[in-house]
Structure 1
Amino acid sequence: MGEKEVESLVARTISRIMIPFIQLFGIYVIVHGETSPGGGFQGGVILGTSMILYGIVYGLSKAKKRVSKKHLIILISLGVLIYSGIGLMDMLSGGKYLQYDSLPLPVDAHETTALSILGVELGIGLTVMSATIILFIYLAGERIGAGMDNW
């Protein structure tokens, strides 16, 4: 793990094939977090690790070019905003924080709850994914002397 690509053709080929499937699985885990094991945190970590795999195989400098620090910080903020926004909308609608079924949506209470939980899971997933990528780039960069300073 460093500035250089892994020279193994097998590692590059397998990662090129696997990264999209890892990302698809991460999205699946987030979206189905309401009804199956998993959710925003687990799906966010899976999505973040797809970028970690990219950074390990193709080098930290290519990973930094692929994602910008500014965009990751925006995604972290957006995730927190989605999570807290749904909770505040519940409170403004007369319910408790993250009560879910108190939102004034034009669907029944069960569907309102499902949509609210999906929104919360998406917010958590965005935040965890972005934080995971930032931590990897920072820690890997510190090891080789190319941390967050020149990103």
Structure 2
Amino acid sequence: MTNRSPSPIILFGTRFLSPYIMVFGFYVIFHGHYSPGGGFQGGTLLAASLLLIRIASGTKIANLQFKDYLATPYAALGVVIYFGTGLLAMIMGGYFLDYEQLSIPGLEAADLRYWGILIIELGIGLTVMTVLTLIYDNMVKGEDYA
């Protein structure tokens, strides 16, 4: 790539759109167990908002939004959230991802399923967002990229 400076119009547009894409991504994650969508779709929307800034502005400004060295630990954390919820259900005497076995005092079976699925969706969304960002960061590493 050639050495270039970011266009102020493109930068303004991406910085304006990125938070709205993030809010919609979180909406898709949190509403995913009631309607189409969920962790994967919301994670891709969150990654799209991060990648929009990365493509338009370069690494210096993009690292202010999301540090590239945090992608791998956050991806691992998302996997741990997913499998930790499933293993906790097994430890409590149920099957893997049997949310009714999660013993949280004061919650009925329907509420346990609600919170269990939401936790799973958050783990998946975090993993998808960070892995897609990590793929992009690895592809442009070494390029002459502002």
Letter in 2 for 1:26: G
Alpha-carbon spacing, 1:92–1:37, altered in 2? closer, same or farther (3 Å): same
Tell me which residue corresponds to 1:71.
70
Alpha-carbon spacing, 1:108–1:17, altered in 2? closer, same or farther (3 Å): same
Tell me which residue corresponds to 2:25.
26
Q: 1:57 offset after TM fit, Å? A: 1.0
CA contact (8 A) 1:64 1:137 kept: no
CA contact (8 A) 2:68 2:137 kept: no
Tell me which residue corresponds to 1:140.
140
Runs of 4+ deviating beyond 4 Å: none
Q: Is the aligned partner of 1:89 residue 2:113?
A: no
Measure the CA separation in 2 of the matches of 1:35 and 1:5: 44
Measure the CA separation in 2 of the matches of 1:12 and 1:141: 21
Unaligned runs of 5+ in 2: none
Q: 1:61 offset after TM fit, Å? A: 3.7
Q: TM-score by structure 2 length? A: 0.89
Tell me which residue corresponds to 1:149.
none
CA deviation map 1:15-40 (0-9, x unaligned): 12110000001111111110011101
RMSD: 1.9
Letter in 1 for 2:22: Q
Letter in 2 for 1:72: A
Letter in 1 for 2:137: I
CA contact (8 A) 2:3 2:144 kept: no
Alpha-carbon spacing, 1:145–1:58, altered in 2? closer, same or farther (3 Å): closer
Unaligned runs of 5+ in 1: 147-151
Tell me which residue corresponds to 2:124.
124
Q: How many residues align?
A: 144
Q: 1:138 offset after TM fit, Å? A: 1.1
Q: 1:102 offset after TM fit, Å? A: 1.2
Tell me which residue corresponds to 1:14.
13
SS in 2 for 1:101: helix
Alpha-carbon spacing, 1:43–1:2, altered in 2? closer, same or farther (3 Å): farther
Measure the CA separation in 1 of the matches of 2:8 and 2:61: 17
Measure the CA separation in 2 of the matches of 1:60 and 1:139: 13
Alpha-carbon spacing, 1:78–1:3, altered in 2? closer, same or farther (3 Å): farther
Tell me which residue corresponds to 1:114.
114
Letter in 2 for 1:102: Q
Tell me which residue corresponds to 1:43.
42
CA contact (8 A) 2:92 2:102 kept: yes
Q: TM-score by structure 1 length? A: 0.86
What percentage of residue pairs aligned between the two structures are identical? 37
